[in-house]
Amino acid sequence: MNIKNLEKLCNLYGGSGDEKAVRDFIYENIKAYADEISVDNLGNLITLKKAKQKSNVKIALTAHMDEVGFIVTSIRPDGTLKFAPVGGVNADSVLGRRVVVNGNKGVVGAKAIHNMTEAEQKAPANFDDFSIDIGQLNSTDTEKIISLGDRVYFEENFISFGDGMIASKAIDDRFGCAVLMSLIKKELPCNVTFAFLTQEEIGCRGAKAAVLDAKFAIVVETTTAADFDGVPDEQKCTKIGGGAVISFMDKGAIYDKNLFEVCKKTADENNIKWQTKTLIAGGNDASAISLKSGGIRTCAISLPCRYLHTANCVARISDMEAVENLTEKMIDAIANLG
Amino acid sequence: MDLYNLLQKLTEADGVSGDETAICEIIAGEFPDCKTTINDGNLIVNLGEFDPQKKTVLIDAHIDRIGFIVTSLTENGFLRVGNIGKTDMRILPAARVFVGKKRLPGIICTKPPHLSDKDAKPFLISNILINVGMDKKSAEKEISVGDRVLLHEKCTRLSDDIVAASALDNRAGAAAVISAARKILSDKKQKYNVVLLFSSCEEITERGAIISAYNINPDIALVVDVTFAKTQGENDSCGITKGGPMVGISASLDTNLSREFLNIAKEKNIPVQVEIMPSKTGTNADVITISRGGVKAVTLSIPLKFMHTASEIVSLFDIEKTALLIAEFCEE
């Protein structure tokens, strides 16, 4: 796993419908390896890498470029901003975070804890009670630098820590983008479409629009790990350090049974650590991709990740390597399926 | 060193209550020509020679910051912690923290949607687990029970005048006192014996102010701290950011002293705001005023947004004006 490249990807700002910075970065870094490369009307970056030898198998590899974020909805008289989430961000994990709004630094703030009634303290976190302070003291000054509709992102914060761990915003799904960027540089056994998709976080809209000329698809994603003390094993969903997550079903898709078996077998044959989810939870672009073009046989290979959709997603480098290796081996395995 | 750089230096330092020695040393370094004493996490700085004919003014700013203390390691290598000070627990889910002197990064565990219990409010200290990315065996080599845990974000300017940083409560106050002392030292005529107290443990017991006020035995005390600034949801009695320091009026403070400060402000054209605290002040003034026969005190407070989070916000203008007001009071 090229951690330096992943760090660059995670530190870019690009939410649903605003993926340009991510797309431009990927485009520049892969164009030399692509036989065909194009951007469709929804911003999907679709590239084709042809195999040297002839093969009739067509595979699509997908990852989504967008991260969760926010959008400015109004400017208050005191110069602070009201905002709403773009994608599934839980209000619980937003207060106090450093953010970037159209290039300006800001802090998500609220009334001081000291001044809240007991009832207010017990109420669920609510975006209505939060505003973003960008250091302007009135709306006139704020309006000079901020427009309604400007996007808000958690500030770039990638770190390596502990024993081979990383923490950052946007690991979901810049990790998948990093895997695709790495694999497109390799020699492949069949024609592979590398699709960097948009708008996953607001309903897999990039995947729905994308035209993918393929019979098989591998979705490279991140998925929930709740593997901490006090959580019963069956509720952990996946475990950090447990290897690549091979999906059989989630809330969006039932995966191709045969590909699921091939994926497990491929992992075992290559000594790649793998796990499945202990719950039917989450969902990803497979929900849209498996329905496309008369049906694409789809599997998902995911990175177990703690605290998804927060400013500090946490993942383990050994799991990243497992996902990357398994994805590469699965291209070979699918090519052999014919 | 300009004020922003000073603030940056002060806020980057650790010093969770009971662990203030490092920040004491940093501040002592700002006073190479003064007598400085570090005692039990408190730094005492004497400005100039003691003159028995003059009254003694103590200028207090607490230098401890809120945080956590490691209480145990779980079998999976997560940390359990206790609270030091009244941290705003709402900011903790998925927050980044730093453990011990080496500042090992950690992330506070938060449950994903499939596990979240909407009734589990507020976020309780007993439920906090810190993910340091190590198993128990590795974690035990790096981390000990009793290590402090910092909530820490880099000091940054949001605009020319507005700064966001951790521990501005009360490193902003400390910066104002240091700036005031520079002004006082550059003007040789002091009306009072001036003793600076950078005090420990305000956030938990006010112990630093209690023991140091006894040792210094002042006649007058100026307590420099932060107070609530107006922002969404706060009521109108809060201070206005960039409105100048807030001069406290309270039953527990000396009203004549408060009036004197308001008069100086008017005379010298220094913008100030009045902060009415009916009975007690919630600052070190509460304990200093009842030290050894009693001390006449006033509070000077810098408006601060988002108190006890990792990104508190203050105005440099407010800190400068606080320093100016203190200096004007101390000079002949």
Residues of chain A found within 8 Å of residue B153, distances taken between Cβ atoms: 98
CA distance A154 to A311: 6
The model's confidence at residue B122, banded by pLDDT at 50, 70 and 90, is low
The model's confidence at residue B117, banded by pLDDT at 50, 70 and 90, is low
pLDDT at B127: 83
pLDDT at B168: 98
Q: Which of A235, A312, A314 to mutate to test the interface with B (most CBs of B within 10 A)?
A: A312
Q: What is the share, in percent, of chain B residues with pLDDT greater than 70?
A: 98
The tens digit of pLDDT for each residue in A240-284 reads 999 999 999 999 999 999 999 999 999 999 999 999 999 898 899
Residue B119 predicted with pLDDT over 70: no
Residues of chain A found within 8 Å of residue B132, distances taken between Cβ atoms: 161-162
Nearest residue in chain B measured CA to CA from A314: B107
- CA distance to partner chain A, nearest, from residue B8 (Å): 16
The tens digit of pLDDT for each residue in B94-106 reads 999 999 999 999 9
- Candidates B109, B230, B309; nearest CB to A228: B109
Report the candidate in B58, B169, B152, B156 with the shortest Cα–Cα distance to residue B104: B152
What is this model's ipTM?
0.92
- Candidates B112, B115, B156; nearest CB to A308: B112
Question: Which pTM value belongs to this model?
Answer: 0.94
3-state secondary structure chain B: CCHHHHHHHHHHCCCECCCCHHHHHHHHCCCCCCEEEEECCEEEEEECCCCCCCCEEEEEEECCECEEEEEEECCCCCEEEEEECCCCHHHCCCCEEEECCCCEEEEECCCCCCCCCCCCCCCCHHHCCEECCCCHHHHHHHCCCCCEEEECCCCEECCCCEEEECCHHHHHHHHHHHHHHHHHHHCCCECCEEEEEEECCCCCCCHHHHHHHHHHCCCEEEEEEEEEECCCCCCCCCECCCCCCEEEEECCCCHHHHHHHHHHHHHCCCCCEEEEECCCCCCCHHHHCCCCCCCEEEEEEEEEECCCCCCEEEEHHHHHHHHHHHHHHHEC
Residue from A67, A200, A221, A324 carrying the catalytic annotation: A200
* Fold for the domain defined by B3-65+166-330: Aminopeptidase (3.40.630)
Residues of chain A found within 8 Å of residue B305, distances taken between Cβ atoms: 109, 133
The answer to whether A135 contacts B96, with C-beta atoms less than 8 Å apart, is no
Residue A67 predicted with pLDDT over 70: yes
Q: Which of A113, A156, A250, A308 to mutate to test the interface with B (most CBs of B within 10 A)?
A: A113
Two domains, one topology: A3-67+169-337 and A69-154: no
Would you list the domain boundaries of chain B? Answer: 3-65+166-330, 67-151
The model's confidence at residue B162, banded by pLDDT at 50, 70 and 90, is very high
pLDDT at B153: 96
The answer to whether B88 contacts A124, with C-beta atoms less than 8 Å apart, is no
Residues of chain A found within 8 Å of residue B105, distances taken between Cβ atoms: 159, 161-162, 167
Residues of chain A found within 8 Å of residue B316, distances taken between Cβ atoms: none
pLDDT at B1: 64
- CA distance to partner chain A, nearest, from residue B134 (Å): 5
- Candidates B86, B96, B135; nearest CB to A113: B86
Q: Indicate if A200 belongs to the active site.
A: yes
CATH code, A69-154: 2.40.30.40
- CA distance to partner chain A, nearest, from residue B245 (Å): 17
Average pLDDT over residues A33-58: 95
Residue B121 predicted with pLDDT over 70: no
Average pLDDT over residues B198-223: 96
Query: Right CATH number for A3-67+169-337 from 3.40.30.10, 3.40.718.10, 3.40.630.10, 3.30.70.260?
Result: 3.40.630.10
The model's confidence at residue A54, banded by pLDDT at 50, 70 and 90, is confident
The answer to whether B228 contacts A112, with C-beta atoms less than 8 Å apart, is yes
3-state secondary structure B301-313: EEEEECCCCCCEE
Question: Which of the two residues, B1 and A172, has the higher pLDDT score?
Answer: A172
Three-state DSSP class for residue A198: coil
The model's confidence at residue B57, banded by pLDDT at 50, 70 and 90, is very high
The answer to whether B88 contacts A92, with C-beta atoms less than 8 Å apart, is no
Nearest residue in chain A measured CA to CA from B228: A112
Would you list the domain boundaries of chain A? Answer: 3-67+169-337, 69-154
CA distance B28 to B30: 5
- CA distance to partner chain B, nearest, from residue A180 (Å): 26
* Fold for the domain defined by B67-151: Elongation Factor Tu (Ef-tu); domain 3 (2.40.30)
Average pLDDT over residues B251-260: 97
- Interface contacts (A, B; CB < 8 Å): 187
The tens digit of pLDDT for each residue in B128-153 reads 999 999 999 999 999 999 999 999 99
The answer to whether A306 contacts B138, with C-beta atoms less than 8 Å apart, is no
The answer to whether B158 contacts A104, with C-beta atoms less than 8 Å apart, is yes
Residue A238 predicted with pLDDT over 90: yes
pLDDT at B163: 98
Structure tokens at A210: 């994308």
